[in-house]
Chain A
Amino acid sequence: MNAREHTLADFVRIAATLPGARLPWLVRARMTALERFAQSGLPSMRDEDWKYTSIAAIEKHAFLARPRQDGRESAPAALVALVDELSLNKGTGHLLVFVDGRHAPALSAPGLLPAGTTLASIADALERAPEALESYLANEDRQTVFGALNTAFMADGAYLHLARGTVVDEPIHLLFIATQAGAAGAAISPRNLIVAEEGAQATVIEHYAGADGAVYFTNAVTQIFAAPNAQIEHYKLQQEALQAFHVAGIHALQAKDSRLTSHSIALGAALARNDITTAFAAPGCEATLNGLYLVCGRQHVDNHTRIDHLEANGSSHEFYRGVLDGHSRAVFNGKVIVYPGAQKTKAYQANHNLLLSRDAEIDTKPQLEIYADDVKCTHGATIGQIDENQLFYLRARGVEEAMARGLLVHAFAHDVIERIRVTSLRTRLEQILFTRLPQGSRIRELA
């Protein structure tokens, strides 16, 4: 059985257990998506968008979807402790936990949400009020083949709906944990849906973490729909197990004067691919895409972003940085398209990379396509090593070499971290950064 047949057989096996199996529109959407996959198969390196990223290893592992297991009311103590360790806003904020791809109510703490907010598991939402989700979930706009597979297999995830004018002050933390027992060999397909009606505001943290040593495949999709004047701040923290595979799409559709801020932090997984896209469907939109990837060993991380400036007076700012050590490899492809009529567009894009090893490799490709004539767009990419002048300057002040290197890497990465507005997340990332730096504990003492 080849990889394609394997996936199709897996779908036949699991289809009846997927949420919404009785909803004709959803069944249709799943089938359409599956057909798309059946026709194209998974991408190969001959595809322009996958030129530097081979997914052969994902195919080889032949991951299987897991049917829903009911009746788990209480969570084992170790899992409770893990959630406690990973949660960001202890006691405050809103936490939704998913274990091996399924909502775990016993571990979640949604807290008190302002009126007009719906925060639920998508599987539950499909049971209770599926009509609200139809137009969004069936939307295959800008999805990759992996996105289509997610539509076919999506089992759970978070559904956040913000009624007009609703403002959620505290961040909403969506924590996806992969356990050794439950995730090994599994293909996990989380789907998150964020719908912000006019003027609504919220901050969402999408967080993936996996048990060390577990080999599994997360294939996630998050859709964001921002109505006029809505503001969504989205953070993604990817700390998958180092042997795991992670492919994710985050796709936003923005209405007039809406604002999207996206931060994508990639630390884990053997192979990680992110596709982050947003489309300005009306004038006056703003998007900020920030990203940081820290990889080492034989990790491979691929970030593809795309901003469609379809209408006038939009502005986008993109700022991605990467630190690569060992034999790691990274890919950055940032596409900004300014369509005819999208006048007065402002677009800024930068991708900076720091290579700490001779064996690390980065392929970076900023891409601007401009079809309007009254725009201001800049882009740039750099690849560099530790600056020898800076290193010598620090050493000449008595800072030993390892620590001087640590300081410089910290400074480089911190430029992205300091843009994070959620204090608890920023602090968490700083701690993670210190553990990864030479002499990190001493650098922390100084800070």
Chain B
Amino acid sequence: MNLVKEATMLEIRKLQASVEMKPILRGLDLSVKAGEVHAIMGPNGSGKSTLAQVLAGRDTFQVTGGEVLYQGRDLLPLAPEERAREGIFLAFQYPVEIPGVSNVYLLKAALNNVRKHRGQPELDAMEFLALIKQKMKQMDMSEDLLYRAVNEGFSGGEKKRNEILQMAMLEPKLAILDETDSGLDIDALQVVSKGINALRSPDRAMILVTHYQRLLDYVVPDFVHVLAHGIIVRSGGPELALELEERGYGWLEQAAAPSSLSPLRSTGAP
């Protein structure tokens, strides 16, 4: 039995993806093990959000090459809902407003689907409400958000908290947080970070996609990767994020430009 392989949550090999024929990811490699927190940083347009969306199964992106193994299984043929039930969670950069569908309705549908898939009994209304109220308290969210339409009229901070609330309810194995820190004031950032940290566990992996170092002050990652022009150009520990904060992305970006003859390639996580 190969213990190392078994603990690998996500294995991305030479992943290429395009949107409307335009290549965004150009042969990306990444390996994430259970219990690890990886930060993916990079300038705008480097492909960070594309990576997050591709992993969640968004079909506006076409995977044109490479493979993605999730817990040793091919992830790419799975529909978004199958991925969610298998334990993948995407916290959206721009949580979608859904008028007419209440937040509690969505949470109940989502949780019961996931529990059913895991062979767990569905929660009855009382158990469900008790659980959700407890989690909302942790996220410093007002209970009336439960009965409002999903994200409709929520402030930027409330939307992001709502994402983390959903994550806390669904208890994913692999959480991908896409720019969860954007648009948050410092108080909200602390609450959200606390929520994320509370979910760190040895059998859960997290990928934090972020433009800034700020979030990483609160949620300290095990690894930091720099994405530029669709590939990972540099990997390191938390100190890499600090270096980026100081030096910007320019010095790494140039090396990865598509016109470059010998792009600097990552050798994977240290």
Contacts and interface: CB of A to CB of B under 8 A. Distances in A.
B79 interface: yes
Contacts of A181: none
A395 B105 contact: no
A143 B100 CA distance: 37
A419 B89 CA distance: 36
A408 to B, nearest CB: 7
Interface residues of B, number: 31
B101 A408 contact: yes
B114 A398 contact: yes
Contacts of B89: 396
B90 A396 contact: yes
A interface, over-half SS: helix
A398 B113 contact: yes
Interface stretch (B91-99, B202-210, B217-225, B262-270): B91-99
Contacts of B80: 392, 395-396
A82 interface: no
A411 B101 contact: yes
A410 B81 contact: no
B81 A401 contact: yes
A389 B85 CA distance: 19
Contacts of A390: 96, 98
Contacts of A387: 96
A422 B26 CA distance: 59
B76 interface: no
Interface in A423-447: 446-447
A393 interface: yes
Nearest to B58: A392
Interface string A382-408: 000001111011111111110110011
Contacts of A407: 101, 105, 109
B56 interface: yes
B81 A399 contact: yes
B79 A415 contact: no
Contacts of A446: 105, 108-109
Interface in B59-90: 60, 79-81, 83-85, 89-90
A411 B100 contact: yes
A398 B110 contact: yes
Contacts of A393: 92, 95-96, 98, 150
A4 interface: no
Given A394-B98, A395-B80, A446-B105, A400 B113 contact: yes
A412 interface: yes
A414 interface: yes
Contacts of B110: 397-399
Contacts of A415: 99-100
Given A395-B80, A396-B89, 20 more contacts: A389-B96, A390-B98, A392-B58, A392-B80, A393-B96, A393-B150, A394-B98, A395-B79, A396-B57, A396-B92, A397-B110, A397-B166, A398-B81, A398-B110, A398-B114, A398-B117, A399-B81, A400-B81, A401-B81, A404-B81
